[in-house]
Amino acid sequence: MLAVRSALPVNMSAHDALPRPNRERFARFDPRRVPSPCYVVDEAGIAANLRILDRVQRESGARILLALKAFALFALAPLIMRTLKGVCASGLYETRLGREDFGGEVHCFSPAYRPEELERILDLADHVLFNSFGQWQRFQPLIQAARARRPGLNFGLRINPEHSEGWHPLYDPCAPHSRMGIPRAQFAGQDLTGLSGLHFHTLCEQDLPPLARTLAAVEESFSPWLGGLKWLNFGGGHHLTRPDYQVDDLIRLIQDFRRRWNLEVYLEPGEAIALDAGVLVAEVLDVTRNGMDIAILDTSATCHMPDVLETPYRPAVAGAADPGHWPHDYRLAGRTCLTGDVIGDYSFPQPLRVGDRLLFHDMAIYTMVKNTTFNGLPLPAIALWNSDTDELCVIKGFGYEDFRGRLS
C-alpha cells in the first residue's frame, strides 16, 4: 500500500489551510522512484517562487539575495542566479560556496569573525558586515589591506532595532540581551567612516506587517545615520512566496523607502526561494503499539528535519490529517536512540504498513544545510524532480564514508 493521498495537511500555522500550489505538484510524484530517505526538490516549484521574487525586484528596485543558511543546493545555481542578484553567507565556507558555485554579489555576516577566516572572506565577499563596533575597529588593518586590493569592497554593520517581531524566542534577534546587532545607544560618538550600509534582521517566516513595523522602528532610531549611507539590508525571514503574502504592499513599501532615503535596498530571504518546493521521502520500517500505534521511520526529526523538536512543530505529511480526522491515528517517530525523536501524531484513512512511503512537505529548507549523522544514521539522498516534465535525477547519495569522514 502506498500511503500518499490527498488530505488536509498538518503543520504549525494557520496559513497552511490556504491553497499551496507548489505542494500540490507533489500529488503527482511517486515516492517509490527514489531511494529512502530522500530529499526531492522540484525545479518547477523553485522556478515558480523565483517568478514572484523577480517581480518584487523589477517593480520595487530591491536586490534579492539567496540566504545560503536555508537553502544551498548549488545544482540549481544556474536557475536561481538568472533571477537573484547574489547570495548571503554566514561564514567562510558559505562565502566560498557563494563565490565558486553561485556567483553574483556575495554578502557575509557573522556574529564574530576569526582573523584567519576574515582575511579569506575579504578576498571572496563583496559586502562584509560586522556585529559590533569592536570587531569593525579591531580588524581595521585587515580591512584596509583588503580595500587596497579590492576598492569596491563594501562594509556594513548589523543593527538591533530593539523591536521584537519574533513569534518564538528561539527566532527573535531583538529579544532582551540578544547577541545579534548593535543597539542605537552604542552608535553615540562613533565614526562611521568606511561603512556604506546597515543591516537588520528581525523576522522569521513572516508577512508584511511585521516588516513595516520593524522598518518604522529602524527609521525612528537610526535616521541620524541613514542619510550618509548607500544601502540598507532588510535581512531575511520574509515569506514572500507564501500564497497570502502581501506582495503589492511590499513593493510599495520598498518604493516609498527608497524615495525617502535614496538608498539601495537588499532582501535576504532563504525559505522563500524553496518554500513548498521540496519533500522528504521516508519509509515505514515498523509499526508498534504502546497506548497508541507508533510508526518508526527510516528518517529522524533530530537528524533530517528543520526545527521540529526545537520549535516544536509538526511538518505536513501528504495524505495525513490531525489525529481523529481519519480512522487510523499514528505517532510518527525516528529511529535514533533519542527518546524524543518524535515527528508528531497524525491520522490516515488507511492503516500504515511496513514498506509504506510517506512524503513530508516543505523539506528543502533548513535540512540539507544542517542535517547530521547522529547514531550513524545515513543521510538522505538528494534528488531533483521537475513537476512540469516529470524528469527525475538522484544527484547525490551518501554512505558509510560520509559518516566516517567526519570522525577520526
Is residue 12's pLDDT more than 60? no
Q: Report pLDDT digits (tens) over 102-149.
A: 999 999 999 999 999 999 999 999 999 999 999 999 999 999 999 999
Pick among 2.60.40.4070, 3.60.70.12, 3.30.70.260, 2.40.37.10: CATH of 14-42+277-404: 2.40.37.10
Question: How much is the pLDDT for 5?
Answer: 28
Q: Report pLDDT digits (tens) over 355-390.
A: 999 999 999 999 999 999 999 999 999 999 999 999
Question: How much is the pLDDT for 256?
Answer: 98
Query: Average pLDDT of 175-188?
Result: 97
Q: Report pLDDT digits (tens) over 283-330.
A: 999 999 999 999 999 999 999 999 999 999 999 999 999 999 999 999
User: In the chain, where are the structural domains located?
Assistant: 14-42+277-404, 61-274
Q: Are 173 and 166 spatial neighbours (Cβ–Cβ below 8 Å)?
A: yes
pTM above 0.85, yes or no: yes
Place of cell 499551496: 20
Q: Are 398 and 368 spatial neighbours (Cβ–Cβ below 8 Å)?
A: no
Question: How much is the pLDDT for 1?
Answer: 32
Question: How much is the pLDDT for 121?
Answer: 98
Query: Average pLDDT of 75-84?
Result: 98
Q: Report pLDDT digits (tens) over 190-199.
A: 999 999 999 9
Q: Are 72 and 233 spatial neighbours (Cβ–Cβ below 8 Å)?
A: no
3-class DSSP state of 192: coil
Amino acid at 14: A
- Kindly indicate whether the domain formed by 61-274 is annotated with CATH number 3.50.50.60: no
Question: How much is the pLDDT for 17?
Answer: 62
Is residue 75's pLDDT more than 60? yes
Is residue 6's pLDDT more than 60? no
Question: How much is the pLDDT for 19?
Answer: 82
Question: How much is the pLDDT for 2?
Answer: 34
Amino acid at 102: F
Residue 132: exposure state from Cβ atoms within 10 A (0-12, 13-18, ≥19): middle
**Cell numbers found for residue 290:** 504502546
CA distances from 223 to 227, 233, 315 (A): 7, 15, 41
Long-range CB contacts (< 8 A, 24+ apart) of 205-209?
205/13, 205/167, 205/237, 205/239, 205/271, 206/165, 206/167, 206/237, 206/238, 206/239, 207/239, 207/242, 207/244, 207/245, 207/246, 208/245, 208/246, 208/249, 208/250, 208/253, 209/246
Question: How much is the pLDDT for 328?
Answer: 98
Question: How much is the pLDDT for 25?
Answer: 96
Query: Average pLDDT of 74-100?
Result: 98
- H or E element in which residue 281 lies: strand 278-289
Question: How much is the pLDDT for 240?
Answer: 96
